[in-house]
Amino acid sequence: MSEVDLSPLRPYWYPVGPSSEIGAEPAAVTILDEQVVVYRSPGGVHALQDLCLHRGSRLSLGTVRDNCIVCPHRGWTYGPDGRCVHIPSLRATQAVPAEASVRSYRACEEFGMVWVALEEPRLPVPEFPEHEDPEYHVFLAARWDWTASAGRLVENSLDIGHLPWVHGGMLGDRDNPGTIEPYNFSDQPYSSDHPNAGFTFEWDWEEVDRSQYGRPGERLHYKSRLYMPYTRRNTMYAPKGNLTLYQPTLPVSADQVVFWYFMARNHSLEVPDSHFGSFSAKLLADDKIIVENQRPRSLPVDLAEEVHLRAADTVSLHYRRALAAIGARHA
Ligand SMILES: [Fe+2]
């Protein structure tokens, strides 16, 4: 794992938790192996290196005072820009050492989540327009922590070929999986200001089963978007209305990933959310066994490293090429 270079993935927004969970207590999160403390103050949400420069204590064990975070060890106090502004053991006439500055990161809140970027982000926060649309009901179905790379998780989420196999009886039939044809692709989910932003693909699917997205025999239309490098938004268009899955994804390390699973629908509002949430939980429990056991753990971006099928792996190939285009060799 030590050879895995995650640095090309740093300049992007990553989710660190629902806004409702980032409160008065500082929260410790790991993003691409970097330990970060996230805290809320009257001035908003802030993210700093989770390290007091005095004796290496974790700032996330400390407390928030005004807009600052106070180290639990000796009370060194850091502002949102990472500068140490107060050291209790210094006399009032003594200056705080100039080198007492921890790294600070950009933090923001959008779509009910707190996001952090380790470096100047190349893209906006992945869009979730249903969150602001009064016609939709949105709920957070689950948070998942997997011992897997974000790349393997996301590639599996985008893959259609596994549906009748891993989810036979729920999303297809293992005895009659059907062949996979190339999908309809588009490459511009954002404005042209953002090269390598991700991609969109669409396909039709005949409802065969108990997916609850439509009724058996109905033709459903799917539109799946990938916001580079790891967030997926997938909408199913059925005669009764639309259902969107929004999956903001946090790459913790080369072999740990956390993701949240939001569901938004403009129909069946009388049906309890748990009805939809439990269906996706069953699907993801099946996926987890497969994805946590893929080797190597990191997604190899170089196409020479695994065997691909031209049509069935269209999306995977597209995703790996997109990762290569942003400089990633593993994901
Ligand atoms: Fe799956």
**Block residue for tokens 């946590």:** 292
CA-based radius of gyration for the chain: 22
What is the 267 CA–ligand 1 centroid distance (Å)?
Answer: 24
What is the 179 CA–ligand 1 centroid distance (Å)?
Answer: 17
CATH of the domain at 136: 3.90.380.10
- What does the alpha-carbon distance between residue 312 and residue 250 come to, in Å, rounded to a whole number? 27
What is the 193 CA–ligand 1 centroid distance (Å)?
Answer: 32
Q: How many domains does the chain have?
A: 2
Q: Is 70 within the bounds of a domain?
A: yes
What is the 54 CA–ligand 1 centroid distance (Å)?
Answer: 47
Q: Is 331 within the bounds of a domain?
A: no
Q: Which one, of 94, 87, 323, lies nearest residue 226 by Cα?
A: 323
Q: Across 57-161, where does the E strand assignment appear?
A: 63-65, 68-70, 77-78, 84-86, 104-110, 113-117, 137-146
What is the 146 CA–ligand 1 centroid distance (Å)?
Answer: 14
Residue 53: both structure tokens together = 């420069």
Give every strand in the sheet of 77-78, ordered side by side: 63-65, 68-70, 77-78, 84-86
Q: Is 214 within the bounds of a domain?
A: yes
Same-domain status, 113 and 150:
no
Using DSSP's 3-state secondary structure scheme, residue 151 falls into: helix
Q: Which one, of 112, 133, 234, 214, lies nearest residue 171 by Cα?
A: 214
Cis before 229? omega within 30: yes
Question: Sorting pLDDT into bands at 50, 70 and 90, what band is 185?
Answer: confident
What is the 288 CA–ligand 1 centroid distance (Å)?
Answer: 8
Q: Is 106 within the bounds of a domain?
A: yes
Residue 49 scores a pLDDT above 70? yes
Same-domain status, 105 and 236:
no
Same-domain status, 70 and 149:
no
pLDDT tens, residue by residue, 231-263: 999 999 999 999 999 999 999 999 999 999 999
Same-domain status, 108 and 187:
no
- What does the alpha-carbon distance between residue 261 and residue 76 come to, in Å, rounded to a whole number? 38
What is the 280 CA–ligand 1 centroid distance (Å)?
Answer: 9
Residue 215 scores a pLDDT above 90? no
Average pLDDT, the chain: 93
What is the 157 CA–ligand 1 centroid distance (Å)?
Answer: 6
Residue where a domain stops, chosen among 81, 96, 117: 117
Same-domain status, 96 and 215:
no
Burial (CB < 10 A; 0-12, 13-18, 19+), residue 140, is: middle
Using DSSP's 3-state secondary structure scheme, residue 323 falls into: helix
What is the 155 CA–ligand 1 centroid distance (Å)?
Answer: 10
Supply the pTM of this predicted model. 0.95
Same-domain status, 65 and 180:
no
Same-domain status, 162 and 303:
yes
Domain of residue 65, residue span: 7-117
What is the 165 CA–ligand 1 centroid distance (Å)?
Answer: 9
What is the 105 CA–ligand 1 centroid distance (Å)?
Answer: 34
What is the 297 CA–ligand 1 centroid distance (Å)?
Answer: 17
Residue where a domain stops, chosen among 117, 142, 176: 117
Same-domain status, 170 and 272:
yes
Same-domain status, 315 and 205:
yes
pLDDT tens, residue by residue, 268-308: 999 999 999 998 999 999 999 999 999 999 999 999 999 99
What is the 284 CA–ligand 1 centroid distance (Å)?
Answer: 6
Using DSSP's 3-state secondary structure scheme, residue 272 falls into: coil
Q: What percent of the chain has pLDDT over 70?
A: 96
Same-domain status, 95 and 174:
no
What is the 7 CA–ligand 1 centroid distance (Å)?
Answer: 28
Residue 148: both structure tokens together = 């897997």
Q: Which one, of 186, 182, 204, lies nearest residue 316 by Cα?
A: 182
Q: Is 164 within the bounds of a domain?
A: yes
Handedness of CA 104, 106, 110, 113 (dihedral sign): negative
Residue 1 scores a pLDDT above 50? no
Amino acid at 33: D
What is the 156 CA–ligand 1 centroid distance (Å)?
Answer: 6
Q: Is 2 within the bounds of a domain?
A: no
Q: Is 123 within the bounds of a domain?
A: no
Max CA-CA distance within the chain? 79
Distance of CA 245 to the CA centre of its chain: 12
pLDDT tens, residue by residue, 91-136: 989 999 999 999 999 999 999 999 999 999 999 999 999 999 999 9
Amino acid at 288: K
pLDDT of residue 211: 57
Handedness of CA 208, 211, 215, 219 (dihedral sign): negative
H-helix or E-strand containing 47?
strand 44-49
- What does the alpha-carbon distance between residue 312 and residue 123 come to, in Å, rounded to a whole number? 29
What is the 234 CA–ligand 1 centroid distance (Å)?
Answer: 13
What is the 295 CA–ligand 1 centroid distance (Å)?
Answer: 17
H-helix or E-strand containing 317?
helix 314-325
Q: How many CB atoms lie within 10 A of CB 182?
A: 12
- 31 versus 219: the higher-pLDDT residue is 31
- What does the alpha-carbon distance between residue 4 and residue 330 come to, in Å, rounded to a whole number? 6
Give 300's Cβ-side CA count (13 Å radius). 10
What is the 186 CA–ligand 1 centroid distance (Å)?
Answer: 23
What is the 160 CA–ligand 1 centroid distance (Å)?
Answer: 8
Residue where a domain stops, chosen among 76, 91, 117: 117
What is the 35 CA–ligand 1 centroid distance (Å)?
Answer: 30
Q: Is 1 within the bounds of a domain?
A: no
CATH of the domain at 62: 2.102.10.10
- What does the alpha-carbon distance between residue 164 and residue 301 come to, in Å, rounded to a whole number? 25
Same-domain status, 105 and 181:
no
Same-domain status, 133 and 109:
no
What is the 87 CA–ligand 1 centroid distance (Å)?
Answer: 52
